[in-house]
Amino acid sequence: MIVKHLDDVLNTAADVDTEGWTSRRLIYKDAGMGYSVNDTIIKPGAELEMQYRNHLETVYCIEGAGEITDLATGETHPIRVGTLYALNKHDHHVLRANKGTHMRMVCVFNPPLTGREVHDATGAYALAD
């Protein structure tokens, strides 16, 4: 059994901070679960273009508000507390947090992340060995 609290992750190597987001990796590849789970903060006003070519991701918003735009269709969807979206086709998208507020998201990745990834130039995470 694995039992963790967010406090166990804060200010460790599993607490990854970038200009647009901070991701606290709660479960990652070495746990052997076949997926990873992150508690991620999208910073106020952040606009992130991403495409996870190597991963599928499901995201559930637990704080804040913003929107996601599917770059293949141009369709934009509002995000607020209780919204879930799944990038089931390696969807190329832009995620935006509203100015003045962050979005806090629970993110599940398959295959799992190793724990220290940051987006590459294409907005993807590299695939772990």
CATH topology of domain 6-110: Jelly Rolls (2.60.120)
Residues 34-53 have pLDDT tens digits of 999 999 999 999 999 999 88
| The pair of three-digit structure tokens given for residue 20, joined into one six-digit string | 């647009």
Q: What is the Cα–Cα distance from 12 to 64, expressed in whole angstroms?
A: 25
Spans of the chain below 70 pLDDT: 115-129
Residues 89-104 have pLDDT tens digits of 999 999 999 999 999 9
Would you state the pLDDT for residue 53? 86
- Sheet with 21-27, strands from edge to edge, namely 15-17, 21-27, 36-42, 103-110, 56-63, 84-87
Domain residue ranges in the chain: 6-110
Would you state the pLDDT for residue 80? 98
